[in-house]
Amino acid sequence: MNLSKVLSLVFLLVAIGLGYYLYKGVEDVVEDEKKIALTEAAIIEKLQMLRDAELAYQASNGKYAGSWDSLKSFIKTGKIWLVQRTETTKLLEYGKEETTVTFDTLGSVPVIDSLFNERKFPNFNLDALAVVPGSGGKQFEFFANKVERNSYEISVFEIRDPSPINPARRMNNNEKALKVGSRTDASTEGNWQ
């Protein structure tokens, strides 16, 4: 073999190797993005479940649960009351109307059966509800308090992912970590919306 054939073969092998490394690099980035998207979807689903539980807790107790233990106890043993609202409108003289509103308590259902039933969540595990998916066992950060707005005290809560898997969410001390609620406003929205 002459020198040009040997060099052609070497360059071909180098080109194949470089092509493989380029392909592998792009493939790894795509796989990481898929993993991050799946993990964040699972985190968002849990945050939505925790928001529903916090709202039920607040409706029953007048404040939000500030810890996982109190929320877990409420989910296990709490009840959601079924109330029927009826309005009756009566026509008075000169076209005026009088509306009477009555509330009737019909009964109650357990929180766990109402919010986390088998139909909605077939693999529901109460003990794993506060565990952040893909975190290796870390729990969500819980915060609940009252803040003053326009001389009124309002209840607020925030449930947050303590260690985001997405590098963009980890910037500035986890400033953009997935969370639901707010420490300063009466919001129950998630920051993914």
> 56-115: per-residue pLDDT in tens?
888 888 888 888 888 889 988 888 888 888 999 888 887 788 889 998 888 888 888 888
- Decide if 169 is inside a domain: yes
pLDDT tens figures, 147-191: 888 888 888 888 888 888 777 776 776 777 888 888 888 888 888
- Decide if 22 is inside a domain: no
- Decide if 164 is inside a domain: yes
pTM for the full predicted model: 0.75
- Decide if 33 is inside a domain: no
pLDDT for 189:
83
Q: Are 69 and 76 in contact (CB under 8 A)?
A: no
- Decide if 160 is inside a domain: yes
- Decide if 10 is inside a domain: no
What is the DSSP annotation of 1-35?
Answer: --HHHHHHHHHHHHHHHHHHHHHHHHHHHHHHHHH
Range of the domain at 59: 46-181
Number of domains composing the chain: 1
